[in-house]
Amino acid sequence: MDSPRTHDIGWELYRSCLAVLREGSLSAAARALGLTQPTIGRHIAALEEALGLVLFTRSQQGLLPTEAALALQSHAEAMGHAAAALVRAAHAQGGGVRGTVRVSASHVIGTEVLPPVLARLQAEHPELTVELALSDRMHDLLQREADIAIRMAEPRQEALVARRVGAVDLGLHAHPDYLRRQGTPQSLADLEGHRLIGFDAETPFIRSARQRFPAWQRERFSLRSDSDLAQLACIRAGLGLGICQTGLALRAPALVRVLPGDFAWGLETWVVMHEDLRHSPRCRATFDALVAGLQRYLADGAGVPA
């Protein structure tokens, strides 16, 4: 049974523990948190005493987490997300659209699509601060990892408010210089003689693509990267044929779409937030701006043709 003392442990102790888990040493954790190394050490010692656990052992590589520390990590991270969400909500108090909103998106969407949308949003609401969390993994809105997320799959959790904005058109593209050197494929069979750009790790996306396009498999890729942004850069540099959004292919340097009748599909796009935030002015304004901005992007040539 838990000791009463374990219910009174301050968040700062867990925060220091989480920093050491992430950074690997007391000194690095201290720099990350803006504290001193002795303070971090005292926090770890106090947390170990309160929990009755050994959380770290010393080695030549630094502090190594024990199984107990690793078991606590996800819970400490959830506390951290909740604490950050609390601060965002506190800063937003008062009239109007103000404070901080955290938006989650993929690297490609966050880098290539959202900046002008966010520029318009902040021009309309100058007291609004945006935290843009870019990752190709799905942030957990229920755990408050973000306030709003742009997702390429329909959300299933009932506690989320979701708006479908449309389907992003994906196709096979190449730089004109590459096609001048290697020729333009006229059929899927012609891909055998071309350099393909694709993922390194096996993903649901690759498995889905391979079902429709058997040639699209890891062993065939002459350049592999798990970053959509890196793949796009390589296509633009003329390294080979790769999949990208048609809306991005229209931008400089303009890319050429190949085999449009054989190699195409739509990626459903949603804007999502926790239902508890639907009445937050900062989140409502951001949610609406993202929906409108993404709809403009799709209407300008990035959406699946009607």
Beta bridge partners of 72: none
Q: Is 280 exposed, middle or buried (0-12, 13-18, 19+ CB in 10 A)?
A: buried
Torsion angle in degrees (nearest 10) through CA of 215, 220, 223, 229:
30
Fold of 80-166+268-302: D-Maltodextrin-Binding Protein; domain 2 (3.40.190)
List the chain pLDDT tens, one digit each, 306 residues: 455 455 678 889 988 999 999 898 999 999 999 999 999 999 999 999 999 999 999 877 778 999 999 998 888 888 887 877 777 777 666 667 888 999 999 999 999 999 999 999 999 999 999 999 998 877 777 777 889 999 988 888 888 999 999 999 999 999 999 999 999 999 989 999 899 999 998 777 677 777 777 778 888 999 999 999 999 999 999 999 999 999 999 998 899 999 999 888 899 999 999 888 888 899 999 999 999 999 999 999 999 986
Do the domains spanning 80-166+268-302 and 167-266 agree at the CATH topology level?
yes
302, 248 Cβ separation under 8 angstroms: yes
* SS3 of residue 114 by DSSP: helix
Listed by start position, the domains of the chain span 11-78, 80-166+268-302, 167-266
Q: Identify the CATH assignment for 167-266 out of 3.40.50.1370, 3.40.50.1100, 3.40.190.10, 1.20.1260.10.
A: 3.40.190.10
Beta bridge partners of 258: 172
Architecture of domain 11-78: Orthogonal Bundle (1.10)
Quote the tokens at residue 25: 């040493």
| pTM for this entry | 0.73
Q: Which of 43, 89, 150 is nearest to 282 (CA)?
A: 89
CA distances from 235 to 188, 226, 250, 304 (A): 18, 14, 13, 21
